[in-house]
A = this chain, B = another copy of it.
Amino acid sequence: MGKNELHPVISVRLFKNEKCFGPGINELLKRVEEHKSLRSAANSMQMAYSKAWRIVKDSEQALGVKLLRSTTGGVGGGGAALTPEASKLVEAYQNYLVALNSAANTLFEETFEEFLK
């Protein structure tokens, strides 16, 4: 599918009673993994630390699972790392997006065939 052809963009949010997980918290967790700190992860997304903290807390509460753990560093240290549950969740979400996008593209070509001529 060329970039200028009509194509679907799928977005996935996970809910229980309320929203638990989506593109924002997923990106934030991936960046915590990379930067080993919530503050640096937030900075790298031009997001206020307080907002990042709130996003993590809201997701933890909705899921009923702890997503981040503190790591102690050297002087002025104190970073963050993903809990095993968060790592599994990020991986599952990523795998899910890949599988779903593949299904979405196939279904799209079937359903929108006449718009793609």
Beta-carbon nearest neighbor of A19 in chain B: B9
- Docked Cα-Cα span, A12 to B16, in Å, equals 20
Taking CB atoms, residues of chain B closer than 8 Å to A20 are 6
- In chain A between 48 and 89, which residues have their CB closer than 8 angstroms to a CB of chain B? 63, 88-89
In this assembly, does A104 line the interface, its C-beta being within 8 Å of a C-beta of chain B? yes
Q: Which residues of B contact A117 (CB under 8 A)?
A: none
Whether A107 pairs with B112 at a CB distance below 8 angstroms is: no
Chain A interface size band reads 20 to 34
Shortest C-beta distance, A49 to chain B (Å), equals: 28
Q: Do B4 and A14 touch across chains, with their CB atoms under 8 A apart?
A: no
Interface pair B6/A14, CB less than 8 Å apart? yes
Find out whether the CB atom of B107 lies under 8 angstroms from the CB atom of A100: yes
Residues of B within 8 A of A13 (CB): 8-9, 11
Residues of B within 8 A of A104 (CB): 12, 100, 103
A interface residues (Cβ-Cβ under 8 A, vs B): 3-17, 20, 63, 88-89, 92, 95-96, 99-100, 103-104, 107-108, 110-112, 114-115
